[in-house]
Structure 1
Amino acid sequence: MLRKLSGDPDCKNGTCPTLWATEDAGSYVVQGYVVTDPERLAQLDLPEGESAVLVPAAVLEGYFRAQR
């Protein structure tokens, strides 16, 4: 089960970039926009089975603000 930690404050449709914690709080799941730019993907040099997503800064900032 996932627990929502922070979402895009500008979200209008409920399925926007979001930060989630796993049930055991040992990992996080990041929901965001798939990185498709070949230049950015080349810089990341992702191994098989990994992907990259863009997440608005406000999603992570909201989470860290809540932790203070």
Structure 2
Amino acid sequence: MTLRFIAKDPETNGDNCPTVWVDEKSGDFVVQGWKADAETERECLETGGIPDTEAVVRLPARMVEAIREACDVAAGSAVR
């Protein structure tokens, strides 16, 4: 796995903050975000279960440009 760093939350100090990467081999997104609160998880569960191998995380809307960049990188990755 080769992760390409895209960006960290621009309004944090750079430590322990929401971050976006793209796996350049698979095109998958890798995100670090805030753990969802109980109310958010409850609403997500209305759509389906959350297996132990998955998590609900929240990224701030101000990271939309980083997510767009990640989409562009993923669209150009080798695996499709």
TM-score calculated relative to the size of structure 2 = 0.65
Which structure 1 residue ranges, 5 or more long, are not aligned? none
Matched residue, 2:58: 54
Deviation for aligned residue 1:24: 1.1
Which structure 2 residue ranges, 5 or more long, are not aligned? 73-80
- Count residues with an aligned counterpart: 66
User: How well do the aligned residues superpose, as a CA RMSD in angstroms?
Assistant: 2.2
Q: Tell me the percent identity.
A: 32
Runs of 4+ in structure 1 over 2 Å off? 60-67
Partners of 1:12 and 1:47 lie apart in 2 by 31
Higher strand content, 1 or 2: 1
